[in-house]
Amino acid sequence: MSDDYKPVLRPGSDPLVFFPLPGADQQAEIAKGHIMACAIAHALEDGELVVMGANSLLPMAAARLAQQTHAPNLTIIAGASGGVNTLVEPLVPSSGDYANLVAEAVLQFPEVLMLQMSGHADAFFAGGLQVDRHGNCNLAYVGEAAHPTLRGPGSAGVPWAQQSARTILYTTSHTRRVFVPKVDFVSYPGWNAPTHSAQRGGPHLVVTPLAVMDFSDSGEMRLASLHTGVSLEQVRENTGFDLVLPEGDVPTTPEPSTLELRLLRQMDPDALLTVVV
Amino acid sequence: MEAVTPTPARTSKVTSVEEAVARLVPDTSESLWVGGMHMHNVPMSLVRECIRQGKRFETLYAGPSSSMAADLLIGAGLVERVVCGYIGYEHMGLAPVFRRAVEERIDGVESVGLREVVEADSGSMVLALQAGASGQPFAALPPGLGNTSLPAASPSFYRVVRNPFAGTEALAVEAIRPSVALIHCQQADEFGNGIFKGSPFTDRLLALAGRTVIMQVEQLVDNDQALRYPAQTGVPGFLVAAVVPVTFGCHPTSSHRYYNYDDVHLRLYMQAAETREGFEQYLAEYVLQPEDQEEYMRRVQNQDWGAMRESDT
């Protein structure tokens, strides 16, 4: 082993080499995953610091895309593995994967949490078993504490997303089971939390397979755009509360540009983005 | 001048997995924290051996993000109370046994013996571990957690303190010093100087905070490796009670740079564990019956160990 130790991707360091996901080789024209990644990418700005949590394929694709288009000075921290400005390619589904360590620096996980808890991050990504009209997220359980009907994984690092300047919520499932009037447990606090200020703490964007939502001045979830081919009725049917509607016609979420699609396919030759949603 | 050779030889900490668990893990421990994160760097051989030997843990710290280790220990009925930051399998799904233990409990009592789930979060758990490593009685938390359901749900874990400087209220968590800490380094010398070939995750802190630290390694290396590149030694040997070399010992989780997680086997487990009977069968076949790692590996049918082995550094 030499001093200039450099991690090299080897056979066996990519699960897809040995364990292909079903359908991973199917390249859809434009997949929901592509549209969602682009919507998140457009919400990230040059010079910002973004921190990924678990299961972060979509935000990782988005942040890498932002770096390669409008935000060359964006800094990405790949949550679990601690990789800073990872060049992971092909994209991998696990945030703790060794592949994320093709990077500029490797932080210990407590250091990642410290950055998150101290408010260094400009954007963090969250989601959960349930999301409600104020953007509260639940990762703990559905039902009553004593008799939950669904036990989730636990709140993990998501409570500290509120320390970031902005939180972007995303979910790969837009249903009434996820979008409920009121969450059963608050892992991440939405806009009705007692100490949120208008500037900091609350969620700013919600990206789903059907639509993009933001929040009204009173902190209620508002439809911002519908993805191509999705009707307003479809979103209403799959949302457990009344979304605030924008004035006038509801815009369509921009389709990925030719360049964006090429970049996404380049970093994702296994087409995970086409099967993640 | 003639060089003088020191006469007493330094003691090797290399131990078999059976002996390390038998000798260093009490039959009932106050608490356990297993290192690694998600499906990565989890010292699964040590976990399986704890189950084989029926070691019980009053509290399991499942954080910052745990997966199969927590699921197996809970399912085997060896955990009374779990402090839950995260138990799951990222993109692969929720933890089947943990789910059943909570969802199917009758009158608050679950048949596998899990009596309490303490709702917690990864950040607070790591600050508590840091306090434990530093000898602080507790750790004050950054503001904001009062906006969540956590403090009300877990009044034993989160307490209100007064910030003596600002005169305001803050939340705090008690220091954690796990009785037993199981960690994994890809390499170590016989004295326990552990080298991470990938991410250290939370395991350097865990080695500082744990009362008894057992290190499972993929490969024993010469002491020269540590001496030549000491900055790469993530865990100095004096913190470690035993070094346990096990090839593919983290399977089915990964060992960074040596092999990745085996998601075929993880799915096999997750599907089997959907039912109580399926879980018992898995436990018998892959945990209780195999006498050693070689037998475990023989039983893992789908794995091309040879192909994985070539990825050794």
Q: HSE of A201 in the Cβ direction (CA atoms, 13 Å)?
A: 20
Per-residue pLDDT at B283 exceeds 50: yes
Q: Does B134 touch chain A (CB under 8 A)?
A: no
What's the token pair of residue A53?
Answer: 């949590």
What's the token pair of residue B193?
Answer: 């100087």
Among B40, B62, B123, select the one facing A117 at the smallest CB separation.
Answer: B123
Q: Which residue is listed with tokens 């939180």?
A: A167
Instruction: Give the model confidence (pLDDT) of B198-233 as tens digits.
Output: 999 999 999 999 999 999 999 999 999 999 999 999
Give A-chain residues touching B312 at CB under 8 angstroms.
none
> Best mutation site among A117, A132, A142, A150 for testing chain B: the one with the most B CBs within 10 Å?
A117
Contact A244, A221 (CB under 8 A): yes
Instruction: Give the model confidence (pLDDT) of A119-176 as tens digits.
Output: 999 999 999 999 999 999 999 999 999 889 999 999 999 999 999 999 999 999 999 9
> Best mutation site among A2, A84, A88, A113 for testing chain B: the one with the most B CBs within 10 Å?
A113
Q: What is the largest CA-CA distance in chain A?
A: 64
Backbone angles phi, psi at A221, to 5 degrees: -65, 130
Q: What does the alpha-carbon distance between residue A262 and residue B59 come to, in Å, rounded to a whole number? A: 50
Average pLDDT, chain A: 88
Per-residue pLDDT at A27 exceeds 90: no
Give A-chain residues touching B122 at CB under 8 angstroms.
113, 155-157
Contact A38, A44 (CB under 8 A): no
- With CA atoms as reference, report the closest residue to B56 among B17, B27, B82: B27
Q: A254 in helix, strand or coil?
A: coil
Taking an 8 Å cut-off on Cβ atoms, the answer to whether A54 and B85 are in contact is no
Per-residue pLDDT at A199 exceeds 70: no
**pLDDT value, residue B112:** 75
Q: DSSP label at A13? A: S
Q: What does the alpha-carbon distance between residue B161 and residue B178 come to, in Å, rounded to a whole number? A: 23
**pLDDT value, residue A88:** 87
Q: What does the alpha-carbon distance between residue B277 and residue B215 come to, in Å, rounded to a whole number? A: 32
**pLDDT value, residue A29:** 80
What's the whole-number mean pLDDT along residues B227-245? Answer: 97
Q: What does the alpha-carbon distance between residue A174 and residue B302 come to, in Å, rounded to a whole number? A: 35
What's the token pair of residue B96?
Answer: 């089947």
CB atoms within 10 A of CB A229: 9
Taking an 8 Å cut-off on Cβ atoms, the answer to whether A153 and B146 are in contact is no
Q: What does the alpha-carbon distance between residue B176 and residue B133 come to, in Å, rounded to a whole number? A: 8
Instruction: Give the model confidence (pLDDT) of B66-116 as tens digits.
Output: 999 999 999 999 999 999 999 999 999 999 999 999 998 754 445 678 999
Among B86, B98, B200, select the one facing A156 at the smallest CB separation.
Answer: B86
The whole-model pTM stands at 0.93
CB atoms within 10 A of CB B156: 10
Per-residue pLDDT at B180 exceeds 60: yes
Least confident of A105-114, A148-157, B256-265: B256-265
Question: How many cross-chain Cβ pairs, A to B, lie less than 8 Å apart?
Answer: 213
**pLDDT value, residue B5:** 76
SS3 string, A137-152, reads EECCEEECCCCEEEEC
Q: Where are the alpha helices (DSSP H) in chain A?
A: 15-18, 32-42, 57-68, 109-117, 232-237, 258-267
What's the token pair of residue A179?
Answer: 């979008």
Name, in order, each residue with C-beta under 8 angstroms of B111's C-beta and a sequence gap of 6 or more: B104, B105
